[in-house]
Chains A and B, each alone.
Chain A
Amino acid sequence: MSLERHWKKIQQQVVETQIWKSIFRVGIPNTNRKRVLAMLGNVVLHLHPVKTRKSGVKMRYTWCAGGMTFFLFLTLTFTGLLLMFYYRPTIEYAYGDMLDLREQVPFGIMREMHRWGAHAMVISVWIHMFRVFMTGSYKPPREFNWNVGVVLLVLTLLLSFTGYLLPWDQLAIWAITVGSNMARATPLAGNEGPFAAQLAVNGVNLVTAGSDARFGLLGGRIVGANALLRFYVLHCVFIPLVAAFLMAVHFWRVRKDGGISGPL
């Protein structure tokens, strides 16, 4: 018997076991009926419609930039989870844990994958948005989904921004200092912002360095222990949850608005 027939036989036997059948109800999708059922019966695959516009599955049209962004988000969630095993968000331990991640963890490329993946995700979101714009895909009926996408773009930048602080090195603390200094200039709400000094009762300023927007963001007057903890919680829990929810809305609306766009 040739190798190929051996392989076919093994395949046959595996596919007919009770274990296999219990997981994959449909079997190998080699008929149209099974292709439909394969898409419908799988929780991940059923994000897609059963049938897709032929122009929509082409790389030349979508560049797969949105899919790439989602995949990078999943990669970052996974690598981020692994990093959370090692990393403690306090000023005593944070930097030391970084050194340990570099020196002590065998085959440690999780931090690299997380950092480069984050840069790549920022870029792929831009490219996705650029593609959607250049194909006019934001036009009716997809206006709302474009808006959800804009919010997701902002969340991606915020995710990257909050993660920037966590290594607790010079680059981190000063980049966040420069970035969060902007909050100090918020009109009315930042202590150096326009008209903030005019918000006073009996000569006592309401908006000070200890009560303004920047203080609320950092939990202190400088980028310190509270800021590190806040950014950690925002980075690991809050923003990913909001982003995941909005992604669900985004994907849902892609389908409800008529699938991947194409000429009318």
Chain B
Amino acid sequence: MNGLKSFINWLASPAIAVTLSMLSLVGAMFYKPIWTKKGGLVLFATLVGGFAFSFTDPNFRIVATMPDNVPILGMLFLVGFFFWYAMYQAHLNDARLSVGLPPLEKDDSDKKVFSWPDLVYVELVSLIICSIVLIVWSIVLKAPLEEPANPGAAPNPAKAPWYFLGLQELLVYFDPWMAGVVLPTLIIVGLMAIPYIDTNPRGNGYFSFRERKWEIVMFCFGFIILWVVLIILGTFLRGPNWNFFGPYEYWDPNKLVPLNNVSVSEIFWVKWLKTALPTFWLKRELPGILLVLFYLGALPGLLGKTLFRRFYEKMGMVRFFVGVNLFLIMFAVPIKMYLRWIFNLKYIVNIQEFSFNI
């Protein structure tokens, strides 16, 4: 039992957990048997079973039953369910589309019904169910209230509201100006840009996977991995000093994690060329600056000529470059994470003179 628990603790550590969830998400999306009723039941049973098993562990129970963590557990199940449900319907439609039938929604979409009663009653029922759930939830679970605010005594760990914990998790890998300002802004810009970048006219108004594989995989990667998985990581697995703790591990405030992270400039000048760091910042950081310029400046063009040629031709220049830059920045997040996990890399560009660290 303890062996299993320490194995799961190991599986939950950021590098392993992010890798596994990335592989399993993308893999699962192409593995049809999951997106059936049977597959959904197996998934659900695994989730509930895993949760029930974990609940026997006292350390897990402490974190999972904090009042404000209850909605996050609810979110886990809801997002999981709706993800499965969307893919389930998408695969139903795909099976129809592949034999030349229209999607299921098409059967109904030409017919119109009177909003009274067909729509109004659906809304009324949803509204009543929603009210009942909310009222019962409010009676059963008291809203938490901690000690009065004390600006002099910071709790450890001090956490942002739960829906921002994915961003707080990024603070491990990025400076605050990236994790707290630039990346959130780009998430909003990126979301807004979606309808203008995506020129695929198919799959409008019905669930489908085969007609929009690329878009759906990208969106789910951003939403499920970079948003939801990181929130779970930040909520349940980050304890005092923002150290990682496995789900069955006690949140020991004295846990020590050695930090010996290095920057690209140190690797390049000290480790490879065996000289001291140049004093002038531009010379010192040139390797890192060139890397970033290559990644954001040259790589889009290269991709447009090679791997993404198809997209370049379909989308046109402006759409392609906006889209591919947003794509590259999204993937810069896991790339930076892996650079940290594999090479202990701290900064790619480290210009402390201007507080400009990437």
Interface residues on B, range: 35 or more
- Tell me if B3 is interfacial: C-beta within 8 Å of chain A: no
- Tell me if B111 is interfacial: C-beta within 8 Å of chain A: yes
Contact A264 B176 (CB under 8 A): no
Q: Smallest CB–CB gap between B76 and chain A, Å?
A: 10
Q: Smallest CB–CB gap between A20 and chain B, Å?
A: 18
Chain B 90-109 interface 0/1 with A at a Cβ cutoff of 8 Å (1 = within): 10000000000011011111
For A60, the chain B residues whose CB sits under 8 A away are 89
- Tell me if B20 is interfacial: C-beta within 8 Å of chain A: no
Given contacts A54-B111, A134-B86, A178-B168, contact A185 B180 (CB under 8 A): yes
For A150, the chain B residues whose CB sits under 8 A away are 188, 191-192
For A114, the chain B residues whose CB sits under 8 A away are 143
- Tell me if A91 is interfacial: C-beta within 8 Å of chain B: yes
For A143, the chain B residues whose CB sits under 8 A away are 195-196
- Tell me if B137 is interfacial: C-beta within 8 Å of chain A: yes
- Tell me if A249 is interfacial: C-beta within 8 Å of chain B: no
Q: Which of B134, B145, B208, B357 touches A120 (beta carbons < 8 Å)?
A: B134
Question: SS class of chain A's interface: helix, strand, loop or mixed?
Answer: helix
For B159, the chain A residues whose CB sits under 8 A away are 174-175, 178
Q: Which residue of chain A lies nearest to B228 when distances are taken between CB atoms in the complex?
A: A126
- Tell me if B142 is interfacial: C-beta within 8 Å of chain A: yes
In B134-174, which residues have CB < 8 Å from any A CB?
A: 134-135, 137-139, 141-151, 153-155, 158-161, 163-164, 167-168
For A123, the chain B residues whose CB sits under 8 A away are 71, 74-75, 78-79
Contact A54 B112 (CB under 8 A): yes
In B198-224, which residues have CB < 8 Å from any A CB?
A: 198, 200-208, 212, 216, 219, 223
CA of A71 to CA of B130, assembled, Å: 8
For A53, the chain B residues whose CB sits under 8 A away are 108-109, 111-112
- Tell me if B26 is interfacial: C-beta within 8 Å of chain A: no
Contact B103 A263 (CB under 8 A): yes
Contact B149 A91 (CB under 8 A): yes
For B90, the chain A residues whose CB sits under 8 A away are 134
- Tell me if B342 is interfacial: C-beta within 8 Å of chain A: no
Given contacts A116-B134, A178-B158, contact A222 B151 (CB under 8 A): yes
Contact B355 A50 (CB under 8 A): no
Q: Which residue of chain A lies nearest to B71 when distances are taken between CB atoms in the complex?
A: A119
- Tell me if A161 is interfacial: C-beta within 8 Å of chain B: yes
Chain A 176-190 interface 0/1 with B at a Cβ cutoff of 8 Å (1 = within): 011101111111001
In B172-202, which residues have CB < 8 Å from any A CB?
A: 175-177, 179-182, 188, 191-192, 194-196, 198, 200-202
Contact B117 A35 (CB under 8 A): yes
Contact B106 A170 (CB under 8 A): no
Q: How many residues belonging to A are interface residues under a CB distance threshold of 8 Å?
A: 102
Q: Which of B108, B112, B153, B195 touches A142 (beta carbons < 8 Å)?
A: B195
CA of A138 to CA of B147, assembled, Å: 45
Contact A261 B205 (CB under 8 A): yes
Contact B131 A68 (CB under 8 A): no
- Tell me if B119 is interfacial: C-beta within 8 Å of chain A: yes
For B103, the chain A residues whose CB sits under 8 A away are 263
For A48, the chain B residues whose CB sits under 8 A away are 115, 119-120
CA of A194 to CA of B349, assembled, Å: 12
CA of A98 to CA of B223, assembled, Å: 35
For B82, the chain A residues whose CB sits under 8 A away are 63, 127, 130-131
Contact B131 A75 (CB under 8 A): yes
Given contacts A130-B223, A164-B161, contact A170 B176 (CB under 8 A): no
In A70-90, which residues have CB < 8 Å from any B CB?
A: 71-72, 75
CA of A224 to CA of B196, assembled, Å: 42
Contact A195 B158 (CB under 8 A): no
Contact B114 A35 (CB under 8 A): yes
Contact B148 A95 (CB under 8 A): yes
- Tell me if B1 is interfacial: C-beta within 8 Å of chain A: no
Contact B115 A49 (CB under 8 A): yes
Q: Which of B154, B206, B355 touches A262 (beta carbons < 8 Å)?
A: B206
27 contacts between A and B (CB under 8 A): A36-B114, A45-B120, A48-B120, A51-B115, A52-B119, A55-B106, A57-B118, A112-B142, A116-B71, A123-B79, A133-B194, A133-B219, A135-B205, A135-B207, A136-B203, A136-B205, A161-B161, A173-B149, A174-B158, A178-B168, A181-B176, A182-B179, A185-B175, A187-B182, A192-B176, A193-B177, A223-B151
Further 10 A-B residue pairs, CB within 8 A, beyond A126-B75, A194-B356:
A39-B115, A102-B143, A133-B219, A134-B86, A134-B90, A134-B216, A135-B205, A169-B146, A172-B149, A175-B160
